[in-house]
Structures are given as structure tokens and as C-alpha cells.
């Protein structure tokens, strides 16, 4: 049996186990996906132990995405983002990857905008998700504006992302009307009816991705839909980051429909 899992703290409400196990069932794989909550001080030992025990792959979430960077061999994208969310133990040495980046791109491409090359994108947030999305969009050929509550984090990130500029939240009223793509990569809207983006700057030519997936229909997405924009909820990003990890670990094509069904069933809590 192959073992995969998630390392984070807390991981109790993670949607990754049902999503990945749906993929194993679809492919008839003898595999399990389990969650681990190591003490932060024991992270090095946890990763070494996982390798020694023959675990095939781990996803990594808050608060460990930055810390595992030094414990594995990161690929170029993960090194630039400064965060690893997927460890692959199937090669000679553990390698680190960031599938949040590809997950955001694929969700925009398949659910919203076909061509990101030449697009103008506003990324709100400069934490882990904001960093992944900003690098991903720039790599896809978009011009990226990073907007963040703490302006220094926005300007620091923008300085590392080719062609990007950094701003405070007060720039949204000017930037969003001229944008093709808007991504909320802050935690605003999670378990609360709040949005970081004023509704009156949203417009019908915009594609809006909200990385927040609980609730699925955030206030930002409701405002965006009311403005006639195309909306992409955070479960799509979660789905495609998981699909990319599955494909990397197994070499098999991810069964998107089965994974999506499992994810949305569990998000609705009607398992
Ligand atoms: P993080 O590293 O802690 O960053 C949090 C970000 O939110 C920072 O930019 C922070 O701004 C901003 N923020 C927090 N409270 C705010 C407020 N009241 N007003 C304005 N900005 C505020 O977190 P993260 O890992 O990037 O995650 C951010 C969100 O993305 C979470 O909801 C997470 O669940 C979601 N996410 C989703 C996926 C997916 O696959 N769908 C993947 C990764 C993350 P400051 O810098 O000013 O503090």
C-alpha cells in the first residue's frame, strides 16, 4: 500500500483526504491519504521520518510551507515563491514543489479566462497564497499588481516578481476597473461576510478568483457576480493544486470529476 498525506497544524478539517482518496478509488490504487500534525519543533524529524517510512508524498500546509523549503530540494518555482506545498519522496531525494501556483492558473484557465498572456491581473494578498499566485500569473505572461494591507509586503513581493508593482489596499479603486483578472489571496471572507475589494470597482469584463473556499460563495464572488463578472471559487484552486500533486506522485492523470465531486460533497458537509 502507498501512503500519502498532509502535514500541517491544524489539519483536522482538511478536505484533502476525501479528495485524494476519491482519485485512488477511481484508479484502483492501493493507497491511503492521512493527516499529520507534528509539533513545529519536530518538523525536521517528521520529514526525515516520512522518507524513512516510505511515505510516497506529502502535502504541506500552514504553518510549515516556508519551513520545509530547507528540508527538501525545492524546484525553481517553489524556491522563487519561497514555499513548498507538495513533497515528492518517489525519487532519489525528497523534492519540494508549489502546486498552489499551478492550481490557481488552471482554475482561471478552465473556469474563467482562456489566455492569461498579456492580461492585467490584480492579486490582493502577499502571504503564502498571494506569493504563489503572483509568480504564477507573471510566469503566464500577465502584468501583476500586488495589493496588500501591509504595503511593504506588497512592494517586497512585487520587487521579486518580474514586471510587477506593489500597492496598498487604497489602490484597488484605480487598479480593478482596468484589470482583466482579480484574485483574492487574503483570508478576508473566510468564515465571515467581508470582502477586501470595494464592490463598485468590479465590472463585467473581469474574471474573479477567490482563494477562500469556506464559504464557497464569498461576499467578493457575490459582488462580482452582481457586477456581471466571471467568478471562480476557491474550491477550483484547491482541486487543481491537489490534482497536480496527485499527478506528480503517481504519474497518472488526475480524475478531475471524481476529485471535484468528493471535494464539493465534503465542503457542503453532506458526506
Ligand atoms: P497568509 O500567508 O497568512 O496571508 C494572509 C494574507 O491575508 C496577507 O496578505 C494578509 O495581509 C491578508 N489579510 C489578513 N487579514 C486581513 C484583513 N483583515 N484585511 C486585509 N488583508 C488581510 O495566508 P495564506 O496562506 O496566503 O492564505 C490566504 C487565504 O488563501 C486563506 O483563506 C487560505 O485558506 C486561502 N488559500 C486557498 C488555497 C486554495 O487552494 N484555494 C490555497 C492556499 C491558500 P497582511 O500582510 O497585511 O497581514
Q: Give me the residue spans of the domains in the chain.
A: 2-97+238-268, 101-232
Query: Ligand 1 centre from 91 Cα, in Å?
Result: 32
Q: Which of 54, 53, 50 is nearest to 72 (CA)?
A: 50
* pTM, full prediction: 0.96
pLDDT exceeds cutoff 70 at 50 = yes
Q: How far apart are CA 122 and CA 177, in angstroms?
A: 10
Domain 2-97+238-268 fold is Rossmann fold (3.40.50)
pLDDT exceeds cutoff 90 at 5 = yes
pLDDT exceeds cutoff 60 at 106 = yes
Q: How far apart are CA 119 and CA 233, in angstroms?
A: 20
The pLDDT assigned to 208 comes to 98
Q: Say yes or no: do domains 2-97+238-268 and 101-232 share a fold.
A: yes
Burial class (CB in 10 A: 0-12, 13-18, 19+), 181: buried
- Measure the CA dihedral 22/27/28/29, to 10°: -80
The pLDDT assigned to 269 comes to 62
Positive or negative, the CA dihedral 12, 15, 18, 24 is: negative
The pLDDT assigned to 270 comes to 46
Catalytic residues: 65
The pLDDT assigned to 140 comes to 97
> With bands split at pLDDT 50, 70 and 90, how would you rate the model's confidence at 104?
very high
Angle in degrees, 0-180, between the axes of helices 234-250 and 99-111, rounded to the nearest 10: 120
Q: Please give the share of the chain, as a percent, with pLDDT higher than 70.
A: 99
Q: Tell me the average pLDDT across 21-46.
A: 97
Q: Tell me the average pLDDT across 210-230.
A: 97
Helices (H), the chain: 16-27, 43-52, 76-81, 99-111, 128-139, 151-160, 172-175, 219-226, 234-250, 256-267
Task: For 61, list phi and psi in degrees, rounded to 5.
Answer: -130, -175
Q: How far apart are CA 41 and CA 223, in angstroms?
A: 42
pLDDT exceeds cutoff 60 at 271 = no
State which of 8, 68, 108, 127 you would mutate to test the pocket of ligand 1, scoring each by most atoms of that ligand within 8 A of its C-beta. 127
pLDDT exceeds cutoff 70 at 41 = yes
Q: CATH homologous superfamily of domain 101-232?
A: NAD(P)-binding Rossmann-like Domain (3.40.50.720)
Query: Is there an atom of ligand 1 within 6 Å of 197 CB?
Result: no
Query: Is there an atom of ligand 1 within 6 Å of 109 CB?
Result: no
What is the per-residue pLDDT across 145-187, written as a single tens digit (0 to 9) for each? 999 999 999 999 999 999 999 999 999 999 999 999 999 999 9
- Looking at ligand 1, which residue's alpha carbon is closest to its atom 11? 149
Query: Ligand 1 centre from 26 Cα, in Å?
Result: 33
State which of 104, 122, 125 you would mutate to test the pocket of ligand 1, scoring each by most atoms of that ligand within 8 A of its C-beta. 125
Q: How far apart are CA 143 and CA 121, in angstroms?
A: 6
Length of the chain (residues): 271
The pLDDT assigned to 101 comes to 98
Angle in degrees, 0-180, between the axes of helices 128-139 and 151-160, rounded to the nearest 10: 30
Tell me which of 123 and 113 has the higher pLDDT: 123
Query: Is there an atom of ligand 1 within 6 Å of 126 CB?
Result: yes
State which of 187, 188, 214 you would mutate to test the pocket of ligand 1, scoring each by most atoms of that ligand within 8 A of its C-beta. 187
Amino acid at each position: 500500500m502507498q501512503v500519502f498525506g498532509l502535514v500541517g497544524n491544524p489539519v483536522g478539517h482538511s478536505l484533502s483526504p476525501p479528495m485524494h482518496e476519491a482519485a485512488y478509488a477511481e484508479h484502483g490504487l492501493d493507497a491511503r491519504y492521512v493527516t499529520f500534525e507534528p509539533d513545529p519543533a519536530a518538523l525536521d524529524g517528521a520529514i526525515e521520518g516520512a522518507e524513512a517510512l516510505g511515505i510516497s508524498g506529502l502535502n504541506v500546509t500552514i504553518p510549515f510551507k516556508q519551513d520545509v523549503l530547507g528540508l527538501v530540494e525545492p524546484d525553481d518555482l517553489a524556491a522563487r515563491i519561497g514555499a513548498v506545498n507538495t513533497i515528492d519522496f518517489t525519487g532519489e531525494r525528497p523534492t519540494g514543489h508549489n502546486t498552489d501556483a499551478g492550481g490557481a492558473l488552471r482554475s482561471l484557465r478552465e473556469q474563467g479566462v482562456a489566455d492569461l498572456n498579456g492580461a492585467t491581473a490584480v492579486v490582493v494578498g502577499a502571504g503564502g497564497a498571494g506569493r504563489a499566485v503572483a509568480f504564477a500569473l507573471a510566469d503566464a505572461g500577465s502584468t501583476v499588481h500586488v495589493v496588500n494591507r501591509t504595503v511593504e509586503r506588497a512592494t517586497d513581493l512585487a520587487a521579486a516578481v518580474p514586471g510587477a508593482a506593489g500597492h496598498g489596499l487604497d489602490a484597488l479603486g484605480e487598479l480593478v476597473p482596468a484589470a482583466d483578472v482579480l484574485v483574492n489571496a487574503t483570508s478576508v471572507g473566510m468564515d465571515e461576510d467581508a470582502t477586501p475589494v470595494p464592490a463598485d470597482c468590479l465590472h463585467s469584463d473581469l474574471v474573479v478568483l477567490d482563494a477562500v473556499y469556506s464559504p464557497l460563495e464569498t461576499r467578493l464572488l457575490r459582488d462580482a457576480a452582481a457586477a456581471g463578472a466571471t467568478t471562480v471559487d476557491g474550491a477550483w484552486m484547491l482541486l487543481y493544486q491537489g490534482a497536480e500533486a496527485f499527478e506528480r506522485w503517481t504519474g497518472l492523470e488526475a480524475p478531475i470529476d471524481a476529485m471535484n465531486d468528493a471535494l464539493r460533497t465534503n465542503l457542503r458537509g453532506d458526506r
